[in-house]
Chains A and B, each alone.
Chain A
């Protein structure tokens, strides 16, 4: 068993445990913090896969910006826990059955399709990684320049949209 495989299995265990903890936790703040751990684990997976730029984007954007925004909203609303209410008795068993069917189907289909692709080699030395990074930047700013610019417009629209949505009642309309 190679070192890569051992590392993969340990990280996979951490990722699945934190995801299930996120799902089960009663307190939304704990959920958010467990999800941060999950995102960091996935960032380490990206490093293992030889994608250092994506790993760093993952940590700064997901674990940093997005989850801080989540925690901020949870604490702003004071909505750590919901008031207890009656739950549908058949909801959880049904959801569990459907999820099991989904994971079985997805695994089967993806594996039968993935088999011709082959194995993932461990990332090579640091010099090679920097070369990869340079090539990635060149592809991003030449071949994918238009999607990149469209993304910037999308972020601008999202920013304006968020401000408009939360700031609407200032125009004097009764609330």
Chain B
């Protein structure tokens, strides 16, 4: 038996590591991976709550979140490939002008 608080604390820690990744890294791919980590942390919290109140709604919600994350990754990586083609770098510091 694990108290639901433990899962919530773990989820908060993982989410914060994702936020730190977005804040301190300059590699666009690693920033994107940190966003995935944040989505995952939120999913963990939702499943923990859903399991604690013995309901399916949370699990179905997480299933949809996973599907949307897959779509997001496909489009996001296509954008990163396009940026790399025009700038020859995926350093986010280089992406400082509006006109590509």
Interface residues on B, range: 35 or more
Which residues from A are CB-within-8-Å of B71?
154-155, 157-158
A-B contact count (CB 8 A): 236
Q: Given contacts A45-B7, A73-B80, A103-B12, are A118 and B33 in contact (CB under 8 A)?
A: no
Q: Is B70 a contact partner of A65 (Cβ separation < 8 A)?
A: yes
Which residues from B are CB-within-8-Å of A165?
75, 78-79, 81-82
Query: What residue of chain A has the Cβ atom nearest to residue B53's Cβ?
Result: A117
| A102 partner, pick from B16, B27, B63, beta carbons under 8 A | B16
Which residues from A are CB-within-8-Å of B77?
69-70, 73, 162
0/1 per residue, A48-92, Cβ < 8 Å to B?
A: 111101100110011001100110011011010011010100011
Main SS class of interface, B: helix
Q: Given contacts A23-B34, A119-B2, A147-B64, are A166 and B70 in contact (CB under 8 A)?
A: no
Query: What residue of chain B has the Cβ atom nearest to residue A53's Cβ?
Result: B59
**Shortest CB–CB separation between residue A43 and chain B, in angstroms?**
10
Interface residues on A, range: 35 or more
Which residues from B are CB-within-8-Å of A92?
24
Q: Tell me, in angstroms, the Cα distance from A38 to B47 when the chains sit together.
A: 16
Q: Is B56 a contact partner of A139 (Cβ separation < 8 A)?
A: yes
Main SS class of interface, A: helix
**Shortest CB–CB separation between residue A160 and chain B, in angstroms?**
10
> Does any Cβ of A come within 8 Å of B69's Cβ?
yes
Q: Is B66 a contact partner of A23 (Cβ separation < 8 A)?
A: no
The 4 A-B pairs at the shortest CB distance, nearest first, are namely A158-B71, A95-B23, A165-B78, A106-B12
* Interface residue ranges, B against A (CB under 8 Å): 1-21, 23-27, 29-30, 32-34, 36-37, 40, 43-45, 47-53, 56-57, 59-60, 62-64, 66-75, 77-82, 84-85, 89-91, 93
Known: A51-B50, A155-B70, A158-B71. 6 other contacts (CB 8 A): A12-B10, A42-B40, A46-B44, A73-B81, A79-B90, A114-B52
